Chains A and B, each alone.
Chain A
Amino acid sequence: MPETVTLSVSRYRPEREAEPVFQDYEVPFRKDWVVLDALNYVKDRLDGTLSFRWSCRMGVCGSCGMMVNGQPKLTCSAFLADQPPGPIRVEPLRFFPVIRDLVVDLTDFLRKLKKVTPWIVREREQPLSEGEYRQTPEQLDAYKPFSMCINCMLCYAACPIYGLEPSFVGPAALALAQRYNLDSRDQGARERRERLTEPGGIWECTFVGECSEACPKNVDPAGAIQQYKVSSALAWVRMLLPRGGR
């Protein structure tokens, strides 16, 4: 086993560089270290100027997504030992504006998240005194996988459509819309559909499927979007039928 490994890290300090440059760091190679541990070694011991986000180090907060050797990864679960031999290239998530070093700007995503109405919409709220909305385990299973998204943005960095068309609402936000559409407690599907069949919505997706490949939580946004397209098309057909379906 080698004793050290080179991290080749993308640096961009807007007060210093006009565009990103790579900087190499030698870090210990340890078999239980992930890329994030190596970055923290750099930050603590070698160069305090390197900036990146991280928090939970257990794959659930969604902060530490970066490109590792060209692939979108959570750096807290990308082991050094799993990388091919040679320097490990670490870059900010693709397709996002870079604020600094490995930190990207998520403002656009936060806007899109709100656009999909990611909350329960009801015509009538049941009073709390009447207890919970009943939901069987099967009804729960219908949307549960789409509720597992940690907003880590790996799917956006994997999505070629988002790369070409930044107005695309994108995989995570659309999967979340579908999560609420499929929730037996929700009645907001029509409201969401009106917004998400506009340009930038579901019809932009050409079903490349890279998003589902990149997802560390098996959310399958591509599957969610395909389902969504089918149900929207059906709703549209129903609308054309006499008496307009619903």
Chain B
Amino acid sequence: MEQSSCDVLVVGGGGAGLRAAIAVAEADPALRVAVVSKVYPMRSHTVSAEGGAAAVIKPGDSLDHHAYDTISGGDWLCDQDAVEAFVKEAPEEMLRLEHWGCPWSREPNGSVAVRPFGGMKAERTWFAADKTGFHMLHTLFQTSLKYEGVRRFDECFVTRLLVEDGRCQGVVAIELATGKVLAILARAVILCTGGCGKVFPFTTNASIKNGDGMALAYRAGAALKDMEFVQYHPTGLPFTGILITEAARAEGGYMLNKDGYRYLQDYDLGKPQPKPVLRSMELGPRDRLSQAFVKEMEKGRTLKGPYGDYVHLDIRHLGEKLIDKKLPFVRELCKKYENIDPVKEMIAVRPVVHYMMGGVSTDIEGKTSLAGLYAAGEAACVSINGANRLGSNSLPELLVFGARAGRAAAAFARGAAEPGLAAAEQAHAEEQRLFELRGRQGGRERVATLRVEMQQTMEASAGIYRSEATLREGAGKLRELQARAVDVALDDHSQTFNTELTSALELQYMLDLAEAIVHSALERKESRGSHQRLDHPARDDKSYLAHSLALRREDGSPRIEYMPVKITRWPPGERVYGR
């Protein structure tokens, strides 16, 4: 077994991971920082983000406006101290990215341009046409190359955290190209592995979004916070689940039912106007729009297609010129994958699983409940997203909290002892486990079969609307799947780039997270933001103005606890849109 060591190890090479690595390198050039990722960094899922990144920069806007939009959008489940830090630091982080070369779209005078976005009462979303995440990721990756101190372990799949003396001291990873098992010892570890959309069958998430970091932390004893909050984005393409950015609505697109009627006016989201109105109608928050779709479907006013019900997103009236300038990727995706031209035709869309508000519970510095372990980005829950994230907050979150976690981990690493011998011994035990799994003969279950059953279970039990009955049934089914997953059979026993082995490990991660989601949802007997209980339709601040914490029991099942929400200046109130 090969052993390496560094001071700070970042797991994941997307937006948060690269920002964290650069923050470590800048905090102290003497620290040895490494990034381990199961894909090359520029393949990370940040690349798929489209519409933009919110940060207050224009006159007439204010940090308090951004904070209020975020907190009300999150149905008052956000930690307000974290939100205040976030809105304050976002502009500086976005400017830094501008200085690093990000090709932000511009005003004629050369200043950065902003666009409106859902749930925001001012125009504050920076954008690089509609490939914002792509440009941010490539800018970060290319910039990271100038830091000689940043070492990379590309295409290395992390299988466990090494924890000794109550402190995280590194990871074990499989180098995919060779199959070699690596022990990477570190004084501090930062998890930046993104979300776990692949727990569900229909998602905008890439195939790599299996919640690796969340599961690694959970297995190591760290708490997962607010896992019941799963965001459905209202506009995904049927079948592929490809995202059509919210910017399509921000630029003036309409949501239409089968009668061509702007149905959102029936769901307390305001009155239809020809031009987009902030915090109204199509610019309402994602949870409310996705819930409206389900209601509309129940009324029989959606359209029927081969991949289920859908509604129309109409951007034809925006005209070819604006679409090509501000929404070129929307047009490219529609032409390529749906064989339609949105300049001339309406786009069929339906809600699609998009984002996990929950994640590894951290404080405002990215610190988890396990010493030496930090997390940032979608993998983490700080929490600034509460019960429903606002569009264009996730990209600045990567930067602000990636940088914060990087600085905090650097400070911790400077004072931490060398990883001990016991950590290296654990790594040997892990190598044995992986060797056994890869070589196992005669198992009866296929990875893909179990994955499909898990995904269907999640949709049926923990979709846009849930109830005690659906969640109980889902919890039971997931226990069964966990038991069956022990008996997984691999066709592939080879060392070299064994992707069947990694999909088996990913399935195990996802099953753990699926259970955490369902049990967190079961315990929360209220409706808030993206968590809608048919049997408890109202928000209940008396009992549930609290974050859920899922902790893993000995038998692998979750135990749910609660911790208070931090309220600073915005007492819980009604979420008002369009009036």
Contact = CB atoms under 8 A, between A and B. Distances in A.
B99 A180 contact: no
B567 interface: no
Contact of A61 (B206, B491, B499): B206
Interface stretch (A18-26, A47-55, A226-234): A47-55
Contacts of B247: none
Interface stretch (A2-10, A119-127, A194-202, A203-211): A119-127
Interface stretch (A83-91, A110-118, A155-163, A238-246): A110-118
A45 B40 contact: no
Contact of B101 (A54, A119, A125): A119
Interface in A85-108: 99-101, 103, 105-106
A61 B108 CA distance: 31
Contact of B48 (A56, A106, A128): A56
B497 interface: yes
Contacts of A150: 42, 47, 134
Given A13-B496, A60-B48, A147-B103, A55 B110 contact: no
A55 B134 contact: no
A210 B242 CA distance: 30
A135 interface: yes
A139 interface: yes
Nearest to B489: A48
B242 A57 contact: yes
Given A110-B40, A113-B145, A125-B99, A61 B497 contact: no
Main secondary structure on B side of the interface with A: loop
A100 B500 contact: no
Given A110-B154, A134-B110, A128 B95 contact: yes
A214 to B, nearest CB: 16
A49 B142 CA distance: 34
Nearest to B40: A106
B103 A48 contact: no
Contacts, number: 157
B500 A147 contact: no
Contacts of A49: 491-492, 494, 500
Interface string B133-146: 01100100011011
B420 to A, nearest CB: 33
Contact of B447 (A48, A99, A133, A135): A48
A140 B103 contact: yes
A56 B499 CA distance: 16
Contact of B109 (A47, A58, A136): A136
A88 B43 CA distance: 26
B59 to A, nearest CB: 13
B101 A58 contact: no
B177 interface: yes
A189 to B, nearest CB: 14
Contact of B494 (A15, A57, A149, A180): A15
25 contacts: A43-B500, A48-B490, A51-B498, A52-B499, A55-B43, A56-B47, A58-B242, A59-B333, A60-B47, A60-B48, A60-B134, A61-B39, A61-B43, A61-B44, A99-B177, A110-B40, A126-B99, A128-B96, A128-B99, A132-B111, A148-B131, A150-B42, A150-B47, A183-B101, A185-B101
Given A44-B447, A113-B142, A118-B142, 6 more contacts: A13-B494, A13-B496, A43-B448, A126-B99, A132-B104, A185-B99
